[in-house]
Structure 1
């Protein structure tokens, strides 16, 4: 049985930090040590850290029609690990300027799906892979009108080729259950909507 009253360590020390690569993303190598659960500081350890911009992800939802708008695009990280590297996802973008997460949400909605969000509902914030990346995700539900949504969108200068489609909530939930949706943020958002759908429909429809 765990002892929930024990304090969590809070101390760490970065001894050295070197940038191994810097492009659109960055890879750093850190030498550090941290406090141990049993007390005292642990030995020096080396860790590679994938440094990237924080992300904003939005699940577009039409509460009147009980539909979500999802996108499909090619993802290089999936190659060799999944039968099809075109993933079913939701609207998303990186915070790469001096802007707030909500601004990114509205901008990406227009760029990737030609959608206008009349309201944003914060779902959660989380680290998707803290063992090796410092990425932090801001997750939202976006109020939209799904009627007429579709087509292929994205910015040509960013080589985006994004197909937009409208799904009933039940079909999207079934795609999560069937393993057709394997993108973490999309799974989290759809499951969150399943838990909070009645409240959202009451307020947004």
Structure 2
């Protein structure tokens, strides 16, 4: 990937604050302002790496397969701790397509023959480096290739859900689905229904 340089911004210092489950850095930089001045800015940046997510869609049943799992930051906000979302995961040095097919199988038990790349997006560019590749994959929910449920050694305890597509879309308005990547995938699917049923 090409590294882009912006002459208006110069990194002066990088300091690691935490290197546990997340890598957190304090970045000090100089920024040229639009009024001609220069300011020194400090930002804390969570380096989460690249990720991928997928909408698993069964065209015969017009349903989607999602997962429900514990999300501690959501718990801290006072919301239900177990979030309904599309399968996703970090690339771990794989290509986005290879990684998302691996994650789909680990989390849901469904094998995806061909994941179609839709777009890439930064999920929270004010503080996270994470750039996510979005995919759609057609499946037959009656043909499972594995158990799913995630990896026990990674502390995953994942529930697999099949939800009718229209019901899943309605769950955005009720707040039952409040995960950004999942909402983005469902809204893409609403705009591209012909692709999914062709």
The TM-score, its normalising length taken from structure 2, stands at 0.90
Residues paired across the two proteins, number: 192
- Which consecutive unaligned segments of at least 5 residues does structure 1 have? 1-8
The answer as to whether partners of 1:113 and 1:164 remain within 8 angstroms in 2 is: yes
Give CA-to-partner distance per residue, 1:11-53, whole Å, 9 cap, x none: 2100111111111311111110223334x45311111111112
The answer as to whether partners of 2:48 and 2:129 remain within 8 angstroms in 1 is: yes
Give CA-to-partner distance per residue, 1:31-83, whole Å, 9 cap, x none: 10223334x45311111111112111111011222110011001001113243
- Which consecutive unaligned segments of at least 5 residues does structure 2 have? 1-5
Shift of 1:140: 0.8
The TM-score, its normalising length taken from structure 1, stands at 0.87
The answer as to whether partners of 1:151 and 1:164 remain within 8 angstroms in 2 is: no
* Deviation >4 Å, runs of 4+: 148-152
**Cα distance between partner residues in 2 of 1:100 and 1:143:** 19
Match of residue 129, structure 2, among 107, 125, 134: 134
1:105-120 paired onto structure 2 within 5 Å: 105-120=100-115
**Cα distance between partner residues in 2 of 1:132 and 1:179:** 24
Match of residue 195, structure 1, among 188, 191, 195: 191
Partner SS, residue 140 of structure 2: coil
Give CA-to-partner distance per residue, 1:150-175, whole Å, 9 cap, x none: 97611110111000011111110111
Q: Aligned pair in 2 of structure 1 residues 173, 10: CA closer, same or farther (>3 Å)?
A: farther
